[in-house]
Amino acid sequence: MADDRETTDPKEMYHPHVHEEGKLLNWSDDSEHDQNDTGHYELMAEALRELLIEKGVVTADEIRANLEFMDSRGVHLGARVVAKAWADPEYKKRLMADGTKAVGELDIPMGDVELVVVENTDDVHNIIVCTLCSCYPRTILGLPPDWYKSRSYRSRVVNEPRAVLREFGTEIAEHVAVRVHDSNADMRYLVLPARPDGTDRWSEERLAELVTRDCLVGVSTAKSPAG
Amino acid sequence: MATYKDGDRVRVAVTHPPGHRRVPTYIRGKTGEIERYCGAFPNPEELAYGFDGHPDRPLYRVRFMQKDIWSDYDGPEGDTLDLEIQEHWLSPA
């Protein structure tokens, strides 16, 4: 922050530390201020990646392609599934009967795992967690948010789901059962949120806009048309 | 061929074997109900150590009342928790 001396020279105002006497520091050269302390796990992951490539187990391009695939996943895919289920009752039946097959119709692969879609109703609110690690429908939604992977969420949502929901701004009425799904094995879960009121005859594109990542995990509900 | 049917009451074993287990400690010894049979899958307890996980083990979704899991559960009676348990961890309740 600016020190007490009257100066308008940015170098004086914003450099409270002392640089080496006589050393000309280019204002645009940030190298002295780089703080890039690579953590232990980051280093191990990097070393492993290099070794796997060196030993021909995977190629750099395979890794790149995998990252490209994960980058192409996201809430938009989950929203498509939900919007279609809301608009098309037959699709919804297929989705509830066999989630893997139904999202496959939209060219969404599940890989080695199976998808189970759990529906929010007037009587039930669903919320997803993986207490053991961070299992998440990655091939649909991409990477999970940090809070989903946190020990805090994973340990608390199974024991006090309503308190956790409240912290996300979601209050579930007492007469509605909160159903926690711990995806601890081969299933992956997607919440089918309740269709908001006032959306009769909306197109799938418009319906999809009401679907957020958080309502697919179950920490909130879908947006209402009012906003 | 799955042993349990939807609705069967089952109890999760109380045992703490070493190695990779996918049954969280909080559910061991608890009694719930079969929600559905999920199919048979290679055993992750073996896969974790480089074995092929065969024969595949039957997996079930089991539903528990929260008040049956946590003595201090502070929520309505209807709240539940579902998770996936392999057949060899279950016995009839």
Q: Hey, are the CB atoms on A187 and B82 less than 8 Å from each other?
A: no
Q: Which residues of A50-71 are buried (b: 16+ CB within 10 A; e: fewer)?
A: eeeeeeeeeeeeeeeeeeeeee
Residue identified by tokens 């091939």 is: A139
Residue contact B76–A179, C-beta within 8 A: no
Give CA–CA dist A91/A73, Å, rounded.
Answer: 21
Structure tokens at B11: 């109890």
Contact B10, B34 (CB under 8 A): yes
Question: Is B26 at the interface with chain A, CB within 8 A?
Answer: yes
Query: How far, in Å, CA of A112 to CA of B54, rounded?
Result: 15
In a domain, B2, yes or no: no
What are the tens digits of pLDDT across the range A56-96? 999 999 999 999 999 999 999 999 999 999 999 999 999 99
3-state helix, strand, coil in chain A (%, to 5): 45, 10, 45
Under the banding of pLDDT at 50, 70 and 90, the label for residue A226 is confident
Q: Which residue has the tokens 């690690």?
A: A133
Chain B residues whose CB is inside 8 A of the A181 CB are: 81-83
pLDDT of residue A2: 46
Domain tally for chain B?
Answer: 1
Q: For residue A13, is pLDDT > 70?
A: no
Q: What is the pLDDT of residue A41?
A: 87
Query: How far apart, in whole angstroms, are the C-alpha atoms of residue A165 and residue A136?
Result: 18
Which tokens go with A133?
């690690």
Answer yes or no: do A187 and B44 touch at CB < 8 A. no
Q: Is A187 an interface residue toward B (CB < 8 Å)?
A: yes
Which residue range(s) make up the domain with B79?
Answer: 9-92
Q: Give the pLDDT score at A214.
A: 98
**Is residue B51, in this structure, part of any structural domain at all?**
yes
pLDDT digits (tens, 9 = 90+) for A141-165: 999 999 999 999 999 999 999 999 9
CB-closest option in B78, B82, B84 to A186:
B84
Q: How far is A180 from chain B (nearest CA, A)?
A: 5
On the CB side of A37, how many CA atoms lie within 13 Å of its CA? 0
Q: pLDDT exceeding 70 applies to what percent of chain A?
A: 83
Residues of chain A contacting B74 with CB distance shorter than 8 Å: 160, 162
Q: What are the CB-based long-range contacts (under 8 Å, 24+) for A99-106?
A: A99/A190, A103/A140, A106/A77, A106/A80, A106/A81
Residue pair A146/A198 in contact (Cβ under 8 Å)? The answer is no
Contact A190, A99 (CB under 8 A): yes
A131 touches chain B (CB under 8 A): yes
Residue with token string 């009769």: A200
Residue A1 — very low, low, confident or very high, per pLDDT cuts 50/70/90? Answer: very low
Query: Domain extents for chain A?
Result: 40-70, 74-217
Picking from B52, B65, B82 by the largest number of A CB atoms within 10 A of its own CB, the best residue to mutate is B82
Look at domain A74-217 and name its CATH class.
alpha beta
- Rounded to whole angstroms, the Cα distance separating B61 from A132 reads 16
Strands of B13-79, DSSP E: 31-41, 57-65
For residue B77, the domain's CATH number is: 2.30.30.50
Q: Consecutive sets of 10 residues in chain B, 93 residues long: mean pLDDT of each? A: 93 95 96 97 95 96 98 96 97 97
- pLDDT at residue number B29: 97
Residues of A classed as catalytic = 130, 133-135
* Domain contains B62: yes
